[in-house]
Structure 1
Amino acid sequence: MKAYVFPGQGAQFTGMGKDLYDNSDLAKELFQQADEQLGFEISKIMFEGTAEELKQTKVTQPAVFLHSVILAKTLENFQPDMVAGHSLGEISALVANGTLNFESGLNLVYKRALAMQKACEIQPSTMAAILGLEDAVVEQICSETEGVVVAANYNCPGQLVISGEVPAVELACEKLKAAGAKRALMLPVGGAFHSPLMKPAEDELAEAIANTEFMTPICPVYQNVTTTAVTNPEEIKKNLIAQLTAPVKWTQSVQQMIKDGAVEFIEVGPGNTLQGLVRKIDNSVGTSSASL
């Protein structure tokens, strides 16, 4: 079975999507539609913008979404048996499997980005990558650290990202290094994604989701919150809202997809980060990048 996976924030690069625009009439049409819908030329920023311009959350999230979704729509014989997305990539996955149409997906991604940006401005917060420790040790130290700091991204065995208030994350990093972490690296992000500090964004996203039509998908999505195959639109909505304050359980999702029959993982969108993570989770499965 083929699993199609969709990357999240951090995969962006200058020039992303330009090859699609140049080689596909459908892609050109969808980029133009996105520019009109968002009210600014996101295609121009994607094709020509600086790394700094692309790093703004309100640009990054729709840019990664557009690259992934437009690529999926231009692929020949795109017939996924299952899909999953890392954080923001979950919305790309939901357009790819027919739960959302293109316009609704872009609208949700943009609202999500603005809501998260707003939540970041309420309180100084950050994230850090912890390498070389068991998940349980990281969870334990976070729970014993004063302030808000939680496990946010279970990326692969031995790689976990923590998220929370700046002093709490810094203190947890010191404790984790003392406990034997190979590295505890502060990440250049503007906020504590996938932590309780995203609660204000969760409330805004819930309202947007309530006003969006979710259809029955053509194949299951393995959601970050539950890690299991989901096809019920109401359940998909609930998990998508919860995702903003809950951890991204990528390791567990990939393991479940393999258990359910996935033998090949195809990454759709910018970069190849997810392929690397899949190989670290289980190197017996095939990985590749989707291309025109």
Structure 2
Amino acid sequence: MGRAALKARGIEPDYVVGHSVGEFAALAAANALSTEEALALVRERGLAMAEAARERPGSMAAILGLEDPVVERLCRQIIGVWPANYNCPGQIVVSGENPAVDECCDQAVDEGARRAVKLRVSGAFHSPLVAHAAERIKPAVDRIKFNDPSAPFMSTVTAKIEPAHRMAGLLVEQLTAPVKFTQAASELAREGVRTFVEVGPGNVLSGLLRRIDSTAKAIPVNNLASLAKLEDELATT
């Protein structure tokens, strides 16, 4: 609905990017698949992730205030935990088996992390523990004929612009792969993107984007007032 409101006002993206499940919305916004197809895949993804989480329980935690290489080293040293979300500099989420995530949190604090916060989620998403979810969703994704996107699609699996023939595989891979949002946003900035528009119910990504690139504008659009603000902002740039 947010994308439709933007389109009705003649606002079209130069690039699209999404965080985790947001990649489905990003691809729909770029007309790589229909809104109906995206919604059907998101539903199937949710069911698959819930089933996988019941089969192999786990958890996730946000590590705040450590550089990425330090957290990556901890994940290599502790069996059963992996980097899951590269959200912004100094904020990386880890995912895995419950004892391994707890140990990673403890060691992160010992390494100087400002905080290590367990997340209120139902599983170890973006980790090998939900591999069965990727297997379950693959047939549904493979049935979609992806179109060439109307705006370049920046994948948060690879942090690269990806073509239509790669999209099915990436949407399956993203279930177990880390979300490279920091890297993807940084790459868009190198491509010359100076204004990011977050379309959705919140403004979390806008905050992350400002920490990734303090010189970029990040504008959340989640109601009519913020949409009007975006129009005013674009009119002056």
Tell me the TM-score normalised to structure 2 length.
Answer: 0.91
Q: Deviations for 1:65-105, whole angstroms, at most 9, x for unmatched residues? A: xxxxx111122113110010000000000000000101100
What code does the residue aligned with 1:271 have? Answer: G
Displacement of 1:241? 1.0
What secondary structure sits across from 1:163 in the alignment? strand
In structure 1, what is the equivalent of residue 104 of structure 2?
172
Is the Cα–Cα contact under 8 Å of residues 17 and 154 in structure 2 kept in the other structure?
Answer: yes
1:227 paired to 2:129: no
Count, aligned residues:
221
What code does the residue aligned with 1:249 have? Answer: K
Uncovered stretches (5+) of structure 1, i.e. residues with no partner: 1-69
Q: Give distance in 2, aligned partners of 1:283 and 1:182.
A: 21
Q: Give distance in 1, aligned partners of 2:146 and 2:122.
A: 30
In structure 2, what is the equivalent of residue 122 of structure 1?
55
In structure 2, what is the equivalent of residue 149 of structure 1?
81
Uncovered stretches (5+) of structure 2, i.e. residues with no partner: 225-237
RMSD value over aligned CA atoms?
0.9
Q: Give distance in 2, aligned partners of 1:191 and 1:265.
A: 30
In structure 2, what is the equivalent of residue 210 of structure 1?
142
* Equivalent of residue 287 in structure 1, options 206, 212, 218: 218
Percent sequence identity is: 44
* Equivalent of residue 183 in structure 2, options 249, 252, 258: 252
* Equivalent of residue 160 in structure 1, options 62, 68, 92: 92
What secondary structure sits across from 1:152 in the alignment? strand
* Equivalent of residue 277 in structure 1, options 204, 208, 213: 208
In structure 1, what is the equivalent of residue 35 of structure 2?
102
What secondary structure sits across from 1:181 in the alignment? coil
What code does the residue aligned with 1:95 have? Answer: A
Is the Cα–Cα contact under 8 Å of residues 131 and 175 in structure 2 kept in the other structure?
Answer: yes
Displacement of 1:223? 0.8
What code does the residue aligned with 2:115 have? Answer: R
Is the Cα–Cα contact under 8 Å of residues 56 and 130 in structure 2 kept in the other structure?
Answer: no
What code does the residue aligned with 1:176 have? Answer: A
Displacement of 1:236? 1.5
Displacement of 1:193? 0.6
In structure 1, what is the equivalent of residue 234 of structure 2?
none
Displacement of 1:243? 0.5
What code does the residue aligned with 1:247 have? Answer: P
Q: Give distance in 2, aligned partners of 1:244 and 1:189.
A: 15
Q: Give distance in 2, aligned partners of 1:77 and 1:226.
A: 30
* Equivalent of residue 78 in structure 1, options 7, 11, 31: 11
Q: Give distance in 1, aligned partners of 2:164 and 2:141.
A: 11
What code does the residue aligned with 1:162 have? Answer: V
Displacement of 1:186? 0.7
What code does the residue aligned with 1:128 have? Answer: A
Q: Give distance in 2, aligned partners of 1:178 and 1:243.
A: 31
Q: Give distance in 2, aligned partners of 1:92 and 1:78.
A: 16
What secondary structure sits across from 1:127 in the alignment? strand
Q: Give distance in 2, aligned partners of 1:208 and 1:255.
A: 31
In structure 1, what is the equivalent of residue 131 of structure 2?
199
What code does the residue aligned with 2:3 have? Answer: A
